């Protein structure tokens, strides 16, 4: 038989809060992916900055839908996956600043 170790509800709430970056009470797909990155990636702010700069295609200091489409979808995103992903973590403005990206990926 397998038993799960006893975990307090406070410990679970604390862990949930660490993953729920925008503190909306839900763990989004992007927040889940961020939380599952290897710790050496999440702790390396320099590497996170390089990734941000690569995704920020127009070099305006923000990651927007156009940047994501260019970086990951070959310029095509007919189903709006990139826009939905940004709205999920950014809210209605749909842009990701360096500070928000750092918080999301690095947790700092």
For the question of whether the overall pTM of this predicted structure is more than 0.95, the answer is no
* Cβ proximity of 89 and 22 under 8 Å: yes
Tens digits of per-residue pLDDT, 64-104?
Answer: 999 988 887 777 888 888 888 888 888 888 899 999 889 88
DSSP string, 69-81: HHHHSTT--TT-H
Give the residue-averaged pLDDT of 1-23: 77
pLDDT in the model for residue 98:
95
């Amino acid at each position: 038989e397998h038993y799960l170790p006893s975990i307090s509800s406070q410990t679970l709430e604390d862990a949930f809060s660490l993953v729920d970056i925008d503190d909306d009470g839900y763990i989004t797909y992007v927040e889940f992916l961020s939380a599952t990155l290897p710790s050496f990636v999440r702790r390396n702010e320099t590497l996170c900055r390089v990734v941000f700069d690569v995704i920020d295609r127009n070099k305006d200091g923000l990651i927007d839908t156009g940047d994501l489409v260019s970086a990951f979808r070959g310029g095509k995103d007919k189903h709006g996956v990139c826009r939905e992903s940004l709205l999920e973590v950014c809210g209605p403005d749909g842009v990701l600043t360096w500070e928000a990206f750092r918080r999301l990926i690095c947790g700092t």
